[in-house]
Amino acid sequence: MTTEEKEVYAAYEEINKAMIEKDRAAMERYFDKNLTFTHMSGKNTYKKRDGIWIRVE
């Protein structure tokens, strides 16, 4: 694995750990305030507004 690939993998692992542990500070290090999250099913999309994730139609 290249150095860059190792960095990406390490970040991926840290994000997963933060989600499982509900570690908000760790999550905010990785996600921009304008992030839009779409569930892998494609059925639900969320945006963060005023610190709260809301579903976007």
55 pLDDT tier (thresholds 50, 70, 90) = confident
Q: Where are the alpha helices (DSSP H) in the chain?
A: 3-21, 24-30
Mean of the pLDDT values across residues 2-23? 91
Per the model's pLDDT, the better-predicted residue between 6 and 56 turns out to be 6
For 11, 48, 49, 52, the CA distances from 5, given in Å and listed in that order, are: 10, 29, 32, 32
Average pLDDT, the chain: 82
pLDDT for residue 5 is more than 90 = yes
Question: Tens of pLDDT along 30-48?
Answer: 877 777 777 777 777 787 7
- Burial class from Cβ neighbours inside 10 Å (0-12, 13-18, 19+) for residue 19 reads exposed
